[in-house]
Chain A
Amino acid sequence: MTDGDYDYLIKLLALGDSGVGKTTFLYRYTDNKFNPKFITTVGIDFREKRVVYTASNTNGTTTGKTFKVHLQLWDTAGQERFRSLTTAFFRDAMGFLLMFDLTSQQSFLNVRNWMSQLQANAYCENPDIVLVGNKADLADQREVQEKQAKELADKYGIPYFETSAATGAEVDKSVITLLDLVMKRMEQCVDKPPAEPANGNGATKLSEAQPNEKKCAC
């Protein structure tokens, strides 16, 4: 884990309300273990994992090229009092796992706020994000319906996954999907014509997002 023998260092960051399971989610992803105890994260933390990424073309066929990817997964405190610290770290992450708790309607409603936090603080106006509804195993306590969440994700144009850190369901898949988005973004960033003004692009993205926010508020 300590050698520099990898092709990419990709920095992802998990965010969302306190208690939605960001830490346990990442613990499940990196160590494949589950810790049901709730230990609130102090400010920030991170975990690491080496994965092998298989490159695919735009049409989805694999090119067979594999890369070693070192993932740095930043874990942020959901608590309000750490907010200024955690949001400052947004700008150094390449992709985001926006998490909410399927058993908490409030955590889902706050997704909108987190989105605007991201737009303000992430490295660009429209970073790569995956929406994650965690605690899918607690079916009897569920407050957020899949359809609801899916609609919100579609409005933002981001993928949605229902995961369970307890069972491990969809955990890997959601992270890999995000990784895939970031890897594609890298290529686009480098290959796009440099003449494109940076601000113009961002402004349109922001104005697109605003009507969406209005819609999902009702």
Chain B
Amino acid sequence: MDLDFLQSLERERVLEVLQRDKQLRLMEEDRIRRMKCELQELRRRGAKSCARQYGERTCARCQRPLGKFWNSGDVCRGCSHRICSKCRVGVGAADWKCTVCHAYRDVKIRSGEWFLEEKFKKFPVTENKYETVGETLLKTYNVLSHISVVPPTPPPHLDQQFLSRSGSLKNSIPFTKSVEDLMVSFTSHMRKISTSQSDVQGGLLYVDGGRKGSCVTFSSQKSLSDTDINKSSRLFKVPSLPNLFKRSKDSDHEGSSTGAEEETSFSSEYSGGKRGSNSSICTDGGRFESIGVAGELELALAYSGDASCLEITVGACRNLSHGDARRRRCHPYVKFYVLPEKSGKMKTTVKKNTTDPVYNEVLKYQIERHLLFGKRLHASVWHSGTLRRKVFLGEILIPLDGWRCEDKASQCFNWYPLCPKAEGPDGGAAEQD
């Protein structure tokens, strides 16, 4: 899709409309972010925790004990947790959901997530399913249009860099090839800034609103430098595996050890673990069926200083591959390790017959805060098949160093796209290293 067939005036006109659309989109993104933060709050309050010793007979939301015969609770069809009668929302005795599942559904509707999912079913090729046609066009043509050279009022701390840069651009009007290149890199750069700039605006808007249950990420971003903003915008947008590595390297230089060292020690540990017999990653390594890795995993990480443990809140997965492709079945669960030691194996419950499981479970890993440095969280999604056969559905790696555990509110839920196994199906790169 391009606008090349339009005359320049027409193109300008269309880009103006798209700019207007962008303003609306930014407002919408801010609204959605706020909504998701509220949902996370609710989840945190009502999440089933594995660390606490309690049996089946408590309500997973209010943690009130459930009786054997009277007020015995019932299983929520959304999250398969046992829920007391007070923590249910919905009409009728049969058609109800627990408070968290209901809120999740509500957010899915109000954020337009339903629409993106439907659209994704028909047009699965789109690189970024959140991106609209207008957004794509605008990005492409920002390079050519002079509208883009005057960005909508940058925040104060960016002023100097910004003006000097755009100033130099204006001076270099003769359109040589090199200038064009510069322009391209500039706009891509500017795009990054403007995404995070929108966050800042969002934050300001938010503060004005004076609401509670806050989302302090924005205000903290205001004090960041230019490159930091790029970094954090990347964090927001694409936490895919390569980027996570890059990010961890970026943040590593604050500390003593370098990213390269980390990498090798991690991979040797990893392959070492492969030899061990107690690891199910390795036992499955040779046997896992080659199914396409798809979908995303929603996680929120928090460090609880009081209990000195890492709290991993597993929200949900979506659009997973079918573990049993032939019968279109999927009973997914999520497993965690902390690397490089490969310690603290943790698992969620298994959800039956769904490629969009909702967990809402908190897993806790006891560790002193300073020991988090250099650690990575390895999360993998598995299908629990018949006869204990497991099928690998995808994994993610999250560096735990450089990750600021202090500001509680930044630990919103994030969707991480699942990646194929880091080491190839038969040993592969990680082992050779």
Is the beta-carbon distance between A198 and B121 smaller than 8 angstroms?
Answer: yes
Closest to B17 in A: A45
Known: A42-B10, A88-B133. A195 touches B353 (CB 8 A): yes
Asked if A94 and B13 make an inter-chain contact with CB atoms under 8 angstroms apart, the answer reads no
Contact (A194, B122) CB under 8 Å given A43-B10, A85-B1, A88-B133: no
C-alpha spacing A9/B9, complex, angstroms: 30
Binding site for A on B (CB under 8 A): 1, 3, 5-6, 10, 13-14, 17, 20-21, 23-24, 27-28, 30-31, 34, 105, 108-110, 112, 114-115, 117-119, 121-123, 132-134, 205, 328, 353-356
Q: How many residues of A contact B (CB 8 A)?
A: 36
Chain A contacts with B in 176-198, Cβ cutoff 8 A? 186-187, 189-191, 194-195, 197-198
Q: Is the CB of B17 within 8 A of A123?
A: no
Which of B3, B118, B134, B354 is the most central at the interface, judged by chain A CB atoms within 10 Å of its CB? Answer: B118
Say whether A4 contacts B31, CB under 8 Å. Answer: yes
How near does chain A come to B296, taking the closest CB pair, in angstroms?
15
20 pairs across A/B with beta carbons < 8 Å?
A2-B23, A3-B27, A4-B30, A9-B24, A42-B13, A43-B6, A43-B10, A46-B21, A48-B24, A81-B5, A88-B133, A91-B133, A92-B119, A92-B133, A94-B112, A123-B123, A189-B117, A190-B108, A197-B328, A202-B122
B6 partner residues in chain A, CB cutoff 8 A: 42-43, 85
Write out the residue numbers on chain B whose beta carbons fall within 8 Å of the beta carbon of A202. Answer: 122
| CB atoms of A189 and B1 under 8 A apart | no
Smallest CB-CB A-B distances: 7 pairs: A198-B121, A123-B119, A4-B31, A189-B114, A43-B14, A92-B132, A42-B13
Which of A46, A123, A197 gathers most chain B CB within 10 Å? A123
Assess the A91–B123 pair: CB atoms within 8 A. Answer: yes
Q: Which residue of B lies closest to A120 (CB)?
A: B122
In whole Å, how far is B359's beta carbon from the nearest beta carbon of chain A?
A: 15
Q: A44-B14, A187-B109 are in contact. Are A84 and B20 (CB under 8 A)?
A: no
Complex-state Cα separation, A194 to B122, whole angstroms? 15
Q: Are B3 and A7 in contact, with the CB atoms below 8 A?
A: no
* Contact yes or no, B115 A123, CB < 8 A: yes
Q: Does B110 lie within 8 Å of A43, measured CB to CB?
A: no
Chain A residues whose CB sits within 8 angstroms of the CB of B20 once the complex forms? 46
Contacts of A124 in B (CB 8 A): 118-119, 121-122
The answer to whether B114 touches A190 (Cβ under 8 A) is: yes
Within 8 A of B (CB), among A42-70: 42-46, 48
**B354→A194 contact, CB < 8 A:** yes
- In the complex, what distance in Å separates the CA atom of A6 from the CA atom of B111? 11
Q: How far is the CB of B136 from chain A (nearest CB, A)?
A: 9
A-B contacts besides A46-B20, A194-B356, 5 pairs, CB < 8 Å: A3-B27, A4-B34, A48-B24, A91-B123, A92-B134
Given contacts A2-B27, A42-B14, A44-B14, contact A84 B5 (CB under 8 A): yes
- Interface membership of chain A positions 20-40, coded 1 if the CB is closer than 8 angstroms to chain B and 0 otherwise: 000000000000000000000
Min C-beta distance of A137 to chain B, whole Å:
29
Please, which residues of chain B bring their CB within 8 A of the CB of A189? 114-115, 117-118
